[in-house]
Amino acid sequence: MNGPEEKVLVVGATGGLGRVVVDQAVEEGYAVRAFVRDLSKAGSFPETVKVFVGDVTQPDTLKSALEGLDAVILAHGSDGSSRAVSEAIDYGGVRNVLLALEGSPVRIVLNTAIGITNRETEFNRQSGLTDWKHRSERLLRASGLPYTIVRPGWFDDAPADHPRILMLQGDTRRSGTINDGLIARRQLARVLVESVSSSSAVGKTFELIAEAGDATSDLEPLFADLTPDIKGQLDAPLDVTDMPLDQEPPSVRQDLQRVQRQ
C-alpha cells in the first residue's frame, strides 16, 4: 500500500474511466484528488477523496488542485465532436496541466489511444482526435517530466474472459476498429495507477489490450520488458509517424517550446 502522503490527482474523474481510476487509486492507498467540471457528479466518490472543481481548458482553475502533488493521472478526453473540441480538451488539457505545474517534478500518467499514429481514418479526418492526442503525447515527452503514456484498446467492449494483460509497442494496430484489441476499464485503471509507482514504467509508451489466458498478477515484468522512449525525441522509438514537425501548426511548435522551458 502507498502512504497517505502520496498525493495523486485524477483529471477527468467523473468520466466513465476516471471514476474507475479514482476507486483504483484509493484502493492502492493514495491520497486521491479528483478534478471535476461538475461538483454534482462527484457525490459517489469515497469520502477520502478531495474534490477540486475546474476545467482543463481554463488554466487558472488548475493551480490549487496541482499544489503539493506527487502524480497526475490524465484520464480525461473528449468525444471528438469537432476539431476544436479535440484540440481544446485532448491536447489543450495536457498542455495546460504541464504549464500549470511550472516544472515541478510531478509524475504524469497520460491515457491516449491505440492507433494514435494513424491519421487516415475517416473519424480523424473529421474530428482531428487522433492528431490532437498524438500532439499531447509529444508535449509530455518534451516536458522532461517523469511520465508513462498508455494507449488503450477499445475499453467499452472488452469481454470478461480476457484476463491476460498485453503491452505492445510500435502502434501497429491501426484499423480504427475493435480488431485493434480490447481492454476492460478496470484493467486499464489498474495499469494507469500502478504506473505511478513503477520505476520500470517511467519514460515508456505502450499500447494496452487484453486477451484470453491466465490472469496477469504482476505488471512489473511487463513494464520492464518495454523499450523506453529516447530522450529528446518527440515520438515513441518504434512508431512510424507521419507528422513532420515543420508542418505542424505554429501554436503547437510554440507550445513545445513553452513546456520545455518549464
Query: How would residue 56 be classed by pLDDT, with cut points 50, 70 and 90?
Result: very high
Cell of 20: 474507475
Residues 184, 195: Cα–Cα separation, whole Å: 17
| % of the chain with per-residue pLDDT over 90 | 84
Residues 210, 163: Cα–Cα separation, whole Å: 6
pLDDT at 107 over 80: yes
Q: Taking the model in full, what pTM does it have?
A: 0.96
pLDDT of residue 160: 74
User: Average pLDDT of 78-97?
Assistant: 95
Query: How would residue 155 be classed by pLDDT, with cut points 50, 70 and 90?
Result: confident
Cell of 259: 513546456
The distance from CA 259 to its chain's CA centroid, rounded to whole angstroms, is 17
Cell of 173: 494496430
pLDDT at 237 over 70: yes
Query: How would residue 2 be classed by pLDDT, with cut points 50, 70 and 90?
Result: low
pLDDT in tens, 17-42: 999 999 999 999 999 999 999 888 88
pLDDT at 159 over 80: no
Cell of 59: 488554466
Closest by Cα among 64, 95, 108 to 260:
95
User: Average pLDDT of 82-96?
Assistant: 96
